[in-house]
Amino acid sequence: MSKKTVCVIGAGACGILIANRLSRKFRVTVFEREPVTGGLCAEVDRTGPNRFNHFFSQNDKNLLAEIRSVGLGDRLFWKKAGQIVYPEDQLALDLNGPLDILRLSGSSFWQTFTALAALFLLPRQKLGKMSLEQFFRYFGTVPLMPQALSYKFGASAASVSAAYLLARCKEGKNNRIGCLAGGTRELFNAWENSLKLRGSIRTNTLVTRIMRETAGWLVQTAHGNEERYDILVSTIPLMETAGIFPGLMDSLGPDFSLNYLSIVCPIFRLKKPLSSGRWLFISSVSNEEAVCVDTASLTGENLVYFPIYYPAGTLPPADPVAKFKRFLIRINPAFSPDWIQEEWISAAERVEPVLSPRLLTLRQSCRGRLNSLYLTELADTGNMLKSLDGCVEKSTLLSKRIMEKC
């Protein structure tokens, strides 16, 4: 019996990984509209840095296992990852553990002492049930805590447990972030090479339409080609899949919608390091909280990038580069524009959907309804947002499910 055929739309991390896994059982073809694979991880240009210069955390268990399994374990390297906050009109403050947080709070010696003693003496279970806010309220260090917490955790500050603080305290300044020596491109090269042994990738090929047939799917491309496949996996945003398959939203039901964020991201290559930190949390009254990632000396280059998120479908913020330069001066008053060697600006039309409890319920209820059309955004995983680790997790789960079913 001949193998079933699979079409994967998109050669970002999810697409190329799913294709690799499925090619063990099926004949797989990946369609990618760009000239290179990588999607959001692709390069800004052929000679430039990886777009967003991806890095990993030590908690990225799925991704690290994947990196090792494709033989790139010895290309990984780790650096300490100091975090610094730049609250409005304040000097830079380290934020790497409870001591730093307590210092931020302006509490008395006695309050600091009791809070720390409680942190180490209370049973872990109890800390797990107590939110950080409750913890600090209880130990009387409330005044500046909400400010410090929201710099660090944004909107989810209220749900962070006190056990997190203990974990951070133990990790302390040994917290590290990792990178591949040659950037995420190395990973994509390894995935591409293994896929090419058993399947194929067609770059420069935009999928313009998909149509359901009695048995399988008809796929049309911008070149005017039409091909038939038994199984279809779309790794592009749900709304874009709906654009090429108008029946999709009806199949998902009347209540179905996903929220996306868009992003505009200036990246600068600097002649010298900007700071001693890696993650810089910046906040200002005139601008929503922003994260500036300073990868100084992580990759041997001084790259700094400044992702500004905005709701999909609305206009991007005006003049992000000028805004960024103002922040650079705040981070390092010695900064001057002649430090900039090169600059890029990239605008991602999408960031992954914003995860909500409602989406989780919908995901459960959509299972199986679409019959041989699989959407990564409905893949059954708890880690959907914005990380390569999440991509590995959801691709592995979804490909397992497809192999079991077909």
Ligand X SMILES: Cc1cc2nc3c(=O)[nH]c(=O)nc-3n(C[C@H](O)[C@H](O)[C@H](O)COP(=O)(O)OP(=O)(O)OC[C@H]3O[C@@H](n4cnc5c(N)ncnc54)[C@H](O)[C@@H]3O)c2cc1C
**Of the two residues 234 and 372, which places its CB atom closer to ligand X in the complex?**
234
Q: Which of residues 130-169 bind ligand X (CB under 6 A)?
A: none
- Decide: is 29 part of the binding site for ligand X (CB under 6 A): no
**Phi, psi dihedral angles at 110 (to 5 degrees):** -65, -40
Instruction: Return d(Cα 353, Cα 357) in angstroms, integer.
Output: 12
The rounded distance, in Å, linking the Cα atoms of 56 and 388 is 8
> Is-contact 371 215, C-beta < 8 A?
no
Contact residue for ligand X among 207, 270, 298, 375 (CB under 6 A): 207
Check binding of 10 to ligand X (CB under 6 A): yes
* Backbone φ/ψ region at 384: left (φ over 0), alpha (ψ -120 to 50), beta: alpha
Residues with Cβ < 8 Å from 345, sequence gap 6 or more?
264, 265, 266, 267, 320, 321
Cβ pair 320, 334 in contact under 8 A: no
Give the three-state DSSP class for 205: coil
Residue 241 CB, shortest distance to ligand X, in Å, is 8
Q: Is 13 in the site for ligand X (CB under 6 A)?
A: yes
Interaction of residue 195 with ligand X, rule CB under 6 A: no
Query: Does 236 sit near ligand X (CB under 6 A)?
Result: yes
327-346 positions binding ligand X, by CB under 6 A: none
Number of residues that bind ligand X (CB under 6 A): 34
Among residues 388, 392, 398, 402, the one that binds ligand X under rule CB under 6 A = 388
Longest Cα–Cα distance in the chain = 76
Of 110-118, 160-168, 249-257, 384-392: span binding ligand X (CB under 6 A): 384-392
Is residue 41 a contact residue for ligand X (CB under 6 A)? yes
- With binding defined as CB under 6 A, does residue 31 bind ligand X? yes
Output the CA torsion sign for 348, 180, 338, 88.
positive
391 binds ligand X (CB under 6 A): yes
Quick one: which of 144, 348, 366, 406 contacts ligand X (CB under 6 A)? Answer: 348
Q: Which of 6, 7, 8, 11 binds ligand X (CB under 6 A)?
A: 11
54 or 363: whose CB is closer to ligand X?
54
User: Which position has the token pair 């409905």?
Assistant: 378
Tell me the CA distances in angstroms from 72 to 55, 158, 174, 201, one per residue in order. Answer: 14, 38, 23, 22
Contact assessment for residue 263 and residue 348, using Cβ atoms and an 8 Å cutoff: yes
In terms of CB distance, is 157 or 398 closer to ligand X?
398
Smallest distance from the beta carbon of 221 to ligand X, in angstroms? Answer: 8
CB of 205 to ligand X, least distance (A): 6
**Pick from 239, 351, 355, 370: which binds ligand X (CB under 6 A)?**
351
Is there a contact between 229 and 217 (Cβ–Cβ < 8 Å)? yes
Residues that bind ligand X (CB under 6 A): 9-15, 31-34, 39-41, 52, 54-56, 206-207, 235-236, 240, 263, 265, 307, 348, 351-352, 386-389, 391
